[in-house]
């Protein structure tokens, strides 16, 4: 869950893990710890056609979620973070 300080949703003030409720560290609009941001707009042939879901998970909850996958996530090391 994200909170912003302005109407245009440009300045991030707070991020809370949707699973466990942990408040993540945010300084000057930047999240200062690992987290996962999920966004999906469901399209045709789904039961949620035209509905957008958005959520945030702290790194610990993300790790718990992917451990339950039958097929592991694909990992790739990135040398430069922008």
63's CB contacts (< 8 A; 6+ apart) are none
List the Cα angle 69/61/31 in 5-degree steps.
125
Per residue in 32-50, pLDDT tens?
Answer: 999 999 999 999 999 999 9
pTM reported for the whole predicted model: 0.84
Q: Which spans in 1-82 are helix H?
A: 59-67
Residue 57 lies in a domain: yes
Is 72 a member of any domain? no
Residue 7: which domain range?
Answer: 2-67
> Could you tell me if residue 18 is inside a domain?
yes
d(Cα 25, Cα 31) in Å, to the nearest integer? 6
Asked if 54 contacts 38 with a C-beta cutoff of 8 angstroms, the reply is yes
Q: What is the DSSP letter of 1?
A: -
Q: Does 73 fall in a domain?
A: no
Domain count, the chain: 1
For 59-71, the pLDDT digits (tens) are: 999 999 999 999 9
Contact status, residue 33 vs residue 23, Cβ threshold 8 Å: no
Question: Does residue 22 lie in a domain region?
Answer: yes
């Amino acid at each position: 869950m994200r909170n912003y300080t302005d109407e245009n949703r440009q300045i991030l003030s707070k991020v809370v893990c949707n699973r466990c409720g942990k408040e993540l560290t945010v300084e000057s609009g930047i999240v200062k710890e690992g987290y996962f941001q999920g966004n999906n707009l469901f399209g045709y042939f789904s039961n949620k056609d035209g509905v957008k879901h958005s959520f945030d998970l702290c790194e610990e909850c993300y790790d718990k979620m992917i451990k339950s996958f039958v097929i592991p996530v694909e990992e790739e090391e990135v040398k430069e973070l922008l």
